[in-house]
């Protein structure tokens, strides 16, 4: 019972603070042993309700908390900002919209809004959980959503992530070149999106873009998935234009709200 209460207190701490925090800060604020706070934080991060930054040692709430409470949010308070951008993108594109987050070495789908496409049970796509994978003798992003999340990070951070993934048993032992991985993500960073076309190993089309989330200590991506989304390059351009307009409006609303709060 005590651990359950402390878990709720940790979540309430983040609600009041409204910013990322380290273990020691939470331990002191709640008056609990550092080891107890650390265990609760690690557990919440492992199941995706908190995100954790290995470099800064900071924890922050995940959007998964909001996604799982979306029915309560809709019933009592109306949609939140991230839910609004997802609905806006669904209306503009007609596709299913997904939001993913990075959980250290793994990618997690934390929210979705169904569009015109629904996966058939016998053809539901299965994606790698790892942010980066070793395939065909080189490192690559696990998915195009992972590429969109990694595009928000430095090359040093990307290489460190691949090294941690390698220590988990993914990829060969010993030194391996990371140039292909860095180049692939640099291309996503320059274009502002990552595209996946249908083929034998990918049963759906998808486009993913970086998503800015205030106070996040992990990277997020938003994208559309469907079968088919596009048959030619003109379809791709139209889809990208619609998505970029939605993301621009979302980022603009964030800038305006932050400007008002500063004033």
- Please state, as a whole number, how many other Cβ atoms lie within 10 Å of the Cβ of residue 183: 10
The Cα 227–Cα 119 span in angstroms is 9
Helices (H) and strands (E) in the chain, counts: 10, 9
From the list 96, 155, 167, the residue with the least C-alpha distance to 130 is: 167
For 4, the token pair is 């359950």
Kindly report whether the global pTM for this prediction surpasses the value 0.85. Answer: no
From the list 181, 106, 114, 113, the residue with the least C-alpha distance to 151 is: 181
- Can you say whether residue 192 is alpha, beta or left, with left for phi > 0 and alpha for psi between -120 and 50 degrees? left
User: pLDDT truncated to tens, each residue of the chain (263 aa)?
Assistant: 677 888 989 989 998 888 999 999 999 999 989 999 999 999 999 999 999 999 999 999 998 887 787 665 555 544 578 888 999 999 999 999 999 999 999 999 988 999 877 766 666 677 889 999 998 889 999 999 999 999 999 999 999 999 999 999 988 887 788 999 999 999 999 999 999 998 767 778 999 999 998 878 899 999 999 888 998 999 999 999 999 999 999 888 888 876 655 55
CA distance to 32, 56, 86, 98, per residue, from 4 (Å): 13, 27, 32, 31
Dihedral over alpha carbons 125, 134, 108, 126 (to 10 degrees): 10
């Amino acid at each position: 019972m005590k651990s359950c209460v402390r878990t709720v207190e940790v979540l309430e701490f983040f609600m009041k603070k409204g910013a990322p925090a380290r273990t020691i800060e939470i331990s002191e604020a709640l008056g609990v042993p550092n080891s107890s706070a650390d265990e609760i934080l690690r557990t919440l991060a492992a199941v995706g309700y908190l995100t954790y930054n290995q470099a800064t040692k900071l924890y922050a709430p995940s959007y998964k908390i909001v996604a799982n409470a979306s029915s309560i949010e809709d019933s009592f308070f109306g949609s939140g900002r991230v839910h609004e951008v997802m609905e806006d993108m669904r209306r503009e594109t007609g596709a299913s919209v997904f939001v993913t987050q990075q959980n250290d070495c793994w990618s997690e789908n934390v929210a979705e809004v169904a569009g015109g496409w629904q996966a058939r049970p016998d053809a539901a796509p299965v994606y790698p959980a790892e942010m980066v994978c070793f395939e065909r003798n080189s490192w690559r992003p696990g998915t195009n959503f992972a590429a969109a999340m990694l595009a928000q990070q430095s090359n040093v951070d990307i290489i460190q992530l691949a090294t941690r993934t390698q220590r988990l048993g993914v990829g060969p032992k010993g030194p391996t070149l990371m140039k292909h991985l860095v180049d692939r993500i640099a291309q996503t960073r320059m274009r502002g999106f990552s595209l996946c076309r249908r083929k034998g190993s990918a049963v759906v089309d998808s486009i993913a873009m970086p998503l800015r989330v205030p106070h996040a200590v992990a990277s997020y991506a938003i994208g559309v998935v469907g079968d088919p989304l596009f048959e030619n390059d003109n379809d791709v351009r139209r889809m990208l234009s619609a998505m970029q307009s939605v993301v621009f409006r979302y980022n603009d609303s964030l800038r305006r709200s932050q400007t008002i709060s500063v004033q």
